[in-house]
């Protein structure tokens, strides 16, 4: 699982690194401005943040339901830490949204 995730990340990020390395010469010749890179960065940032947040919240919810299924009397004890964990995960996604808006604000 981890190996396939690492390979997927490498496959997705390799073209971006190649484009970034070639940005000084080819981008100036082809007319691509920095605005396109800011827009791409904003889109990728919010996409990865939403994906990570959804996976994290799903895992927290599944773990809480598993714990409640194993010990129903502990549901009151598990509820508050679960909500705090979900709030912290969501705050990271909102932070990425703010960064994406800041990047989009750099576009003229």
Show the domain range for 95. Answer: 33-108
CATH of the domain at 96: 1.20.20.10
Whose tokens are 């919010």? That residue is 46
How do residues 67-101 score in pLDDT, each as one tens digit? 999 999 988 999 999 999 999 999 999 998 888 88
What are the backbone dihedrals phi and psi of residue 24, each rounded to the nearest 5 degrees, phi first?
-70, -45
51 and 101 fall within a common domain: yes
> How many domains would you assign to the chain?
2
Q: Do 22 and 62 lie in a common domain?
A: no
**DSSP 3-state assignment of 106?**
coil
Q: For a pLDDT cut of 90, what percent of the chain falls above it?
A: 42
Q: Let me know whether 8 and 43 are in one domain.
A: no
């Amino acid at each position: 699982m981890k190996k396939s995730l690492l390979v997927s990340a490498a496959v997705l990020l390799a073209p971006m690194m190649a484009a970034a390395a070639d940005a000084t010469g080819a981008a100036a010749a082809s007319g691509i401005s920095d605005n396109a890179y800011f827009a791409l960065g904003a889109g990728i940032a919010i996409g990865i943040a939403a994906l990570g947040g959804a996976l994290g919240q799903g895992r927290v919810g599944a773990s809480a339901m598993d714990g409640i299924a194993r010990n129903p009397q502990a549901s009151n004890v598990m509820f508050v830490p679960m909500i705090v964990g979900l709030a912290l995960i969501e705050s990271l996604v909102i932070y990425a949204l703010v960064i994406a808006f800041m990047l989009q604000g750099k576009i003229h």
